[in-house]
Structure formats: structure tokens, C-alpha cells
Amino acid sequence: MARSIGRRAIVVGAGIGGLAAAKALASSFETVTVLERDALPSAPIARSGTPQARQIHVLLRGGLDALGELFPDFETELERAGAVRVRVGSQSLLELPGFDPFPRRDLGFDYLSMTRPLLEFTARRAVQRQSNIVLDQHCRVTRFLEAPGKDAVAGVRYERGNASHELAADLVVDASSRGALTLDFLDRVGLPKPEETDIGIDLRYATATFEIPPGDPPDWRAVLHRPSVDNCRGGLLVPVEKNCWQVNLTALHGEPVPESVAEFVAFAKTLRRQTIHDAIAGARPVGPIYRFAFPRSLRRHFAALERFPDRLLPLGDAICRFNPAFGQGMSVAAQEAVALRRLVEARTSNADPLSGIARPFFAAVQDFLAAPWATAEGDFVYEKTRGLRPNDFKERQSFNSALLRLAAEDAAVHRMMSEVTHLARPSSALHDPEIIDRVTAQSCKTDRQSPTAFGAAGK
């Protein structure tokens, strides 16, 4: 155990970011208290505080690695609980405009596929085993408390039932997803809020579950069908626990998604390829169809703020949320938690380890956000996407298109691209001079843009 640098850290929210952050801090604080507004179920079932959890939630390889760093034996526990291993490249079928499908080959790594409630439940159990983490449910945090001088957070006020309580802390992590408490605190102490960049996509989601039919299994385990500029509908099919497929169908720019199973199957038939449709057409649905609307990707530029209160750190969706079709949010939150642990442990011998911690934390987070945010910016390929298109967008798209063509031909480039997409390798790997030369040569042959190159192999 690292030297304790404080008596109590409070984490607001027991979602993926909050659980990961609590574990990240546990070795540096005497107590970590997680305050969650919901009742936390004692089984892997969805709860109201994370309404998105009924939708497919893919955990990328980079996210699994990050959670594995925080929770020893995490992969084993997930598999024991029913998560399904999928070999990237050979067992996952990628249908991408211009490559229907993308060449299949073993890329040397795999990921685990499961429902979000199972993932969260497994992480929650691991947190509950940590003796100095207190997981307090039914606690809605209403306010961060100011330290004298207003330059730091001193704790939180929260409600449990009809009673209001205050709890002091040396550090508060805002993993409440919306980040409203952090913004409210900045307002109250007279500090500017971070600028926001958004990418308006008005994504509609529908997720259904089907029993995997008995008989000849298909020669894939998962199918990702990415939209094209002409048909903004996409789909994803993944195996989950209890011998089921979870399937989502998506539409951009406000186009409605299906409400009934019959509509769901009919919608699947409108995709460029029929793989998902043919799989589910005869399969038995389990439970209802769940829909979700996601208006925009959003990034808050905390790193650019000149001043930020001490002893407060937002994390996860409170900093940045991405088009969920790329499956990045949980992985980024987990990677941020790992960065938090490294940072806190590296400052243990400082005289005041928590003073000024926000700046290096936000700088570390910037590194994790660059690649997934660039993927989210791929949505600017659609004319109806709202927001400020990056100046170099055209160049980036043509680089990505050429890279995809190269990856289709070359297994090593395919592997590298998929590792980057899985957030398991930094995107700088793709800017190696040799790769750039080959991509440049390839781009001379490339004319058609592919909408979302980096997201392509994502799920």
C-alpha cells in the first residue's frame, strides 16, 4: 500500500468511472467513500441512474486493460460470470463502406463482451471487497462545499431520504456523468467554466436481445456494421452472457429507430448488408426493445482553464462524452482512473500532495482524449452534423481512408490500427514515418471517403 496522503476521498457516482476512481484512490487514502444516488442492485441488473446501461456497452481492449490494472483478476471474474471472449479481426465481422466486409484475420488480441450491468456488477463487487472503500447508496450529492478562501473543495452535501448531511474530504472526484456539481461549484466561487466543444449528431439507439439460435453457429461472434454517408443507419451484434446476442440499430440526425421487434428486424434489412438481419430474423427475442437518444458528443476543456479549485477532479463523462456507437466512454473513464492512481502515487512524498493536482491530471487526461475525440469528430463527414468542423478535417479523412486501404492489404497495419481503435495503443503509432509514407502512397489511389475510419474497427 502506498503512503496515505489523506483521510478521506469522496467519489460522486458509482458508475464505471466512479468505481474505477474509488479503487484507484484506495491505496492512498484511509477511506474512500463513494456516494451514489441509486439503489445498487445485488445482481447484474440495470438501474435508473445509468439509463444508458440497457444499451449495448462494448468494453474496448484498452478499457479492459485499464480495469485489469485496477482490479486484479478482472478478466477471469468477468469470464466466470458469463462474459464472452471475442478474437478481434477473426471472430468479429466488420462491415464498412467500401469494405463490405473488411478482410478477416487474427489480430492477436481479444476483448470480452457482456452486458453493461454485468460489467458494472463485477466492478462493484471488486470495490466492495476493498475494506477501506465505503459504497453508500441512496445518497444524492447536492453540492460541493467550499473551503475557507473558496480556492478548494472541502467536502460535499448530500441527501439520504429526507435528511441532509455534510461530509468532509481531502479530495472529491466528480464521476456523476453530467458534471453539473463541478460547474455549479465553479460558478459559486466565481471561477470561469470550461469552454465546451460539441458535435451534434442526434443519434438514436435501439437495443434488443435475442437468444442465439441452436444449430450451425455462424463463423463470426460479433458484427459491426458502420453507416455510410448515403445511409446513416448502423448496427452492432455482440454475444453476451446467457447465450444471447445483444443487437443495436442506430440512426443519425434524429431519424427514428424501431419500437417493436418486427420493426427492428425490418430496419436491420435496410442496412447495406444482411448479416445482422439474417442472424436475428429467426431468433427468439428476450425482453423488450430499449431506445435511447444521444444528442451530441461533448468535450469540456478543463485543461485550458487558468484556475481550477484544489481538491476537486471531474472524471469520465463529466469531462467528455463521445458518440457511443464507437464504444469509447467506459474505456476512457477507466484509463483516466489509472492515470489518477499513478499521479496520486507519484506525489506521495510531496509536502502537500493534493495541492495543484488538477493541472497534471487534466494534462494526462488530454492524452487519453485525443484519439477518441478525433474518432468522434469523424461524424463531421455527414452534412447534417452540427458544430465546428476541424480545419484539417478533409486531410484527416483522406489519411484515414488511405490507412484503411493499407490495413485491408497489410496484416501488421491492420493490427496496429485495431489496437489504436481499441485504445490499447496510442494513436501516435499511426504517425510513424514509415506508415505515413505508405499511407501517402496509398492515398494517391484513394478517392472515396470512408466516414469513420478510426471508429471502424472499434466495437
Ligand X SMILES: Cc1cc2nc3c(=O)[nH]c(=O)nc-3n(C[C@H](O)[C@H](O)[C@H](O)COP(=O)(O)OP(=O)(O)OC[C@H]3O[C@@H](n4cnc5c(N)ncnc54)[C@H](O)[C@@H]3O)c2cc1C
Q: Which stretch binds ligand X (CB under 6 A): 84-92, 124-132, 320-328, 382-390?
A: 320-328
Kindly tell me which of 92 and 328 has the beta carbon lying closer to ligand X.
Answer: 328
Instruction: Judge whether 239 and 56 are in contact, CB under 8 Å.
Output: no
Per CB under 6 A, 258 contacts ligand X: no
- Minimum distance from CB of 152 to ligand X (Å)? 20
The only residue of 85, 87, 138, 140 in contact with ligand X, by rule CB under 6 A = 140
Residues 324 to 343: which contact ligand X by CB under 6 A? 324, 327-331, 333
- Minimum distance from CB of 395 to ligand X (Å)? 28
Kindly tell me which of 58 and 96 has the beta carbon lying closer to ligand X.
Answer: 58
- Minimum distance from CB of 301 to ligand X (Å)? 17
Instruction: Judge whether 429 and 420 are in contact, CB under 8 Å.
Output: yes
Per CB under 6 A, 184 contacts ligand X: no
Residues 6+ apart with CB under 8 A from 177: 13, 15, 17, 50, 316, 317, 318, 321
Kindly tell me which of 290 and 399 has the beta carbon lying closer to ligand X.
Answer: 290
The only residue of 10, 114, 153, 175 in contact with ligand X, by rule CB under 6 A = 175
Kindly tell me which of 17 and 451 has the beta carbon lying closer to ligand X.
Answer: 17
For every residue of 255-280, DSSP letters joined together read -----SHHHHHHHHHTSSS-HHHHHH
Distances (CA, A) of 83 to 117, 244, 291, 301, 367: 11, 11, 23, 35, 29
Q: Which stretch binds ligand X (CB under 6 A): 322-330, 357-365, 373-381, 436-444?
A: 322-330
- Minimum distance from CB of 178 to ligand X (Å)? 6
Per CB under 6 A, 185 contacts ligand X: no
> Quick one: DSSP state of residue 304?
G
Per CB under 6 A, 176 contacts ligand X: yes
Per CB under 6 A, 410 contacts ligand X: no
Phi and psi angles of residue 135, each rounded to the nearest 5 degrees, phi first: -105, 105
Instruction: Judge whether 48 and 316 are in contact, CB under 8 Å.
Output: no
Kindly tell me which of 205 and 362 has the beta carbon lying closer to ligand X.
Answer: 205
- Minimum distance from CB of 435 to ligand X (Å)? 26
Per CB under 6 A, 117 contacts ligand X: no
Instruction: Judge whether 201 and 379 are in contact, CB under 8 Å.
Output: yes
The only residue of 205, 210, 264, 267 in contact with ligand X, by rule CB under 6 A = 205
Q: Which stretch binds ligand X (CB under 6 A): 169-177, 255-263, 375-383, 411-419?
A: 169-177
Residues 7 to 36: which contact ligand X by CB under 6 A? 12-18, 35-36
Residues 40 to 59: which contact ligand X by CB under 6 A? 49-50, 52, 55-58
Can you give the three-state secondary structure of 94-147, one letter per residue? EEECCECCCCCCCCCCEEEECCHHHHHHHHHHHHHCCCCEEEECCCEEEEEEEC
Kindly tell me which of 74 and 292 has the beta carbon lying closer to ligand X.
Answer: 292
> Which residue type does 104 have?
R
Per CB under 6 A, 235 contacts ligand X: no
Kindly tell me which of 275 and 331 has the beta carbon lying closer to ligand X.
Answer: 331
The helix-helix angle for 358-377 and 329-346 (nearest 10°) equals 160
Gap between the Cα atoms of 248 and 240, Å rounded: 13
Instruction: Judge whether 83 and 206 are in contact, CB under 8 Å.
Output: no
Kindly tell me which of 210 and 399 has the beta carbon lying closer to ligand X.
Answer: 210
Question: Helix, strand, coil: what percent of the chain each, to 5?
Answer: 35, 25, 40
Kindly tell me which of 118 and 175 has the beta carbon lying closer to ligand X.
Answer: 175
Kindly tell me which of 181 and 280 has the beta carbon lying closer to ligand X.
Answer: 181
Could you give the string, one character per residue 272-301, with x where binding to ligand X holds by CB under 6 A and - elsewhere?
--------------------x-x-------
Distances (CA, A) of 203 to 326, 327, 369, 380: 12, 14, 21, 13
The only residue of 27, 28, 113, 177 in contact with ligand X, by rule CB under 6 A = 177
Q: Is 416 left (phi over 0), alpha (psi -120 to 50) or beta?
A: alpha
The answer, yes or no, to whether the previous bond of 72 is cis (omega within 30 of 0) is no
The only residue of 69, 317, 379, 419 in contact with ligand X, by rule CB under 6 A = 317
Q: How far is CA 442 from the centre of its chain?
A: 31
**Residues in a beta bridge with 6:** 29
- What would the grid cell of residue 236 be? 452492432
User: Binders of ligand X: how many residues, by CB under 6 A?
Assistant: 36
- Minimum distance from CB of 214 to ligand X (Å)? 28
Kindly tell me which of 177 and 398 has the beta carbon lying closer to ligand X.
Answer: 177
The residue ranges that bind ligand X (CB under 6 A) are 12-18, 35-38, 49-50, 52, 55-58, 140-141, 175-177, 205, 292, 294, 316-318, 324, 327-331, 333
